[in-house]
A and B are shown apart, each in its own frame.
Chain A
Amino acid sequence: MDFQFTEEQLMIKQAARDYAQRELWSDVIERDEKAIYPEKHVKALAELGFMGMMVSPEYDGGGMDTISYVLAMEEISKVDSSVSVIMSVNNSLVCWGLEAFGTEEQKQKYLRPLARGEKIGAFLLSEPEAGSDATSQHTTAVDMGDYYLLNGTKNWITNGNTASTYLVIAQTYPEKGHKGINALIVERHWEGISVGPHENKMGMRSSDTHSVMFTDVKVPKENRIGEEGFGFKFAMQTLDGGRIGIAAQAVGIAAGALELALKYAKERKAFGTEIINHQAIAFKLADMAVKVENARNLVLKAAWLKDQHKPYGVASAMAKLYAADIAMQVTTEAVQIHGGYGYVKEYHVERLMREAKLTQIYEGTSEVQHIVISRALAKGELLP
């Protein structure tokens, strides 16, 4: 067992930290309040290589491992999860999905610009009536011979308006259930695609979340990912990896809140001394630190398993479940430590608390993670 990061992993963590603390920090409150898309930051992070950091250099990616990726996700998320979710979707859902399962032609055409961050991707699985129950897809991709005819509505799509490449999950053979589902690469500008209004969210307000509607959109057969009927498996396998990114985001939110709470506790005085000298506050901070460290270790374990090409589905479910839950707990305590100041926007912790909530919901709710973990336990895949 080796808990040592490599020099390169630390360099990437520091690069992400430098960018986040120096650049994201300055306008994060305004972007959150006015729900402004972080266009210049996405461009800058793309130039630094953060938008396709795990893609092989052969396809213009950064060629870095999953450990480096989660370290970068954590640092960006300490400051701004609206930016880190854009990064997470592009890296671990869209780029990874294409690199792992796409054809050579698909990689050349779609993966390269996504890995460079010149184009941004979106992953379209959720529907108005299909969230956790991902098998009941109402969006249809009817086989028309040399193309699929795509109809339906997708909900809660991160990068819904800015993405130029969509990975769409749709039902081709309803009688086959989830084995009749396909994953299709769809270009945003094609005829028949319309994007709904920007969702007015509780947190992560600077990322663009939209519904996307498809009306008789013709998708060439060569844009199907994998074999006919591979779509559901594609979505599940891709989400296993995506969860590591969201778990790292949750760790970042919690760790960011802890950094702010610690700083505040060392400065704020009450009853004649800094409040960190009061046990009520000091013990809270200690509990927060233990939770962050625990969650971080779960995330690193899942990332390590992925890098070692070992099964990581259950590990990523555990990491996401725990990290999301402690992100809520730690941010709530960070607001409490700040007292009244924690409840106003300029101290950042209320925003981190709003951001934390989403990590329990998207890319598999906490309830879905419980299902994944408990089923693995029941099957004897985990040591009791």
Chain B
Amino acid sequence: MKIAVCISNVPDTTTRIKTDASGQKIDLSGVQWILNPWDELALTRAIELKEQNVGMIDEIVVVMVAPSYGEATLRKALAVGADRAIRIDNDPADSYEAAFELASYFADQPADLIFTGIESADFNGSATGAMLSLLAGIRFMPGVSGVFLEGGQTIVHQEINGMSLRLKVSPPLILNVQKGIAIVPRIPAMRGIMAARTKPLTVLSPKKAGACAQVIAYESLPPKAAAKMIEEDNAAMLIEVLHNEAKVI
């Protein structure tokens, strides 16, 4: 079995996002890039599966659509335990462009299970996995909170309203993973960091579908006004404020 994990390179979640002088681009100077947290958990689970099912998983490939600065994140994925890395050399403007590149890749290089994180921590689009499914014609499982290999079968868990659903599925399949897929992301060990030096990282040319839209401007939202506290027994004041200040009644 071959597992592919689609990973996204995102700014550290504590980054203060600024735009450049044009107002149409994010200023990337000083941004610390990290492996998208959902994809990191997906990768962790893929590695656990390989460790727990000795000999059943031939390889784990990580695939990223990103410019060259994404390679540090790919090498971290290799240090954590992926066997090889693919970087498709494009800076996708939106989920569609990323999904298009991934679909082109998987048309050439199929995998039995393709993991996609439920969303990326930058644009939070939650769309790439589903778009990849449609573009590549590979079936799609949303909301996967667990994946197991049991007796030659692939079992996935989904969380639904207070219940856990156990499902038997047939690869090839895209698993859109969410909370629960793995508990703690894997930290790279020294052995892994050393091993990553010699693991292959291949750069592929993009197909360049073109983005769906062009950014006109990133605009800041007006700051939230401070909350006004009104004593609990002062209904008259509440009505007065809602009527005259907020003008909603």
Task: Give A contacts to B, CB under 8 Å.
Answer: 7-8, 10-12, 15, 18-19, 22, 47-50, 53, 57, 61-64
Contacts and interface: CB of A to CB of B under 8 A. Distances in A.
- Residues of A contacting B: mostly: helix
Contact of B187 (A7, A19, A61, A64): A19
A11 B190 contact: no
A50 B75 CA distance: 19
Given A11-B75, A18-B187, A57-B194, 4 more contacts: A11-B76, A15-B187, A48-B189, A50-B190
A15 B185 CA distance: 11
A19 B185 CA distance: 10
Q: Which 9 A-B pairs have the closest CB atoms?
A: A49-B190, A62-B190, A48-B189, A49-B189, A15-B187, A7-B72, A18-B187, A15-B188, A53-B190
B79 interface: yes
A22 B79 CA distance: 19
B75 A48 contact: no
B193 interface: yes
8 contacts: A11-B75, A15-B188, A15-B193, A18-B185, A48-B189, A49-B191, A49-B193, A53-B190
Nearest to A16: B187
A61 B193 CA distance: 12
B160 interface: no
The residue in B189, B190, B194 that gathers the most chain A C-beta atoms within 10 A of its C-beta is B190
Interface string B50-82: 000000000000000000000010011001000
A43 to B, nearest CB: 13
B216 interface: no
B184 interface: yes
A11 B187 contact: no
Contacts of A53: 190
Contact of A64 (B75, B76, B79, B190): B190
Contacts of B197: 8
Interface in B181-202: 184-185, 187-191, 193-194, 197
B117 to A, nearest CB: 18
B75 A7 contact: yes
B193 A12 contact: yes
A355 B135 CA distance: 58
B193 A11 contact: yes
B80 to A, nearest CB: 9
Q: How large is the interface on B (under 10, 10 to 19, 20 to 34, 35 or more residues)?
A: 10 to 19
A15 B188 CA distance: 6
A72 to B, nearest CB: 10
B111 to A, nearest CB: 26
Nearest to B188: A15
Nearest to B34: A14
A11 B188 contact: yes
- Residues of B contacting A: mostly: helix
A198 B185 CA distance: 35
Given A7-B75, A11-B75, A11-B79, A62 B187 contact: no
Interface string B129-164: 000000000000000000000000000000000000
A19 B79 CA distance: 16
A63 B190 contact: yes
A12 B188 CA distance: 8
A48 B192 CA distance: 9
Contacts of A49: 189-191, 193
A18 B80 CA distance: 13
A48 B81 CA distance: 13
B13 to A, nearest CB: 13
Contacts of A18: 185, 187
A168 B191 CA distance: 30
Contact of A48 (B184, B185, B187): B187
A254 to B, nearest CB: 21
Contacts of A50: 190
A8 B75 CA distance: 9
A360 to B, nearest CB: 31
The residue in B184, B187, B188, B197 that gathers the most chain A C-beta atoms within 10 A of its C-beta is B187
Contacts of B185: 18
B120 to A, nearest CB: 19
Contacts of A22: 184
Contacts of A8: 193, 197
Contacts of A12: 190, 193
A64 B189 CA distance: 11
Nearest to A61: B190
A53 B79 CA distance: 15
B184 A62 contact: no
A8 B188 CA distance: 11
Nearest to B79: A11
A357 B193 CA distance: 34
A63 B198 CA distance: 15
Contacts of B187: 15, 18-19, 48
Nearest to B12: A14
A77 B185 CA distance: 22
A47 B75 contact: no
A99 B190 CA distance: 18
Nearest to A7: B72
Contacts of B193: 8, 11-12, 15, 49, 62, 64
A18 B187 CA distance: 7
Nearest to A57: B194
Nearest to A19: B187
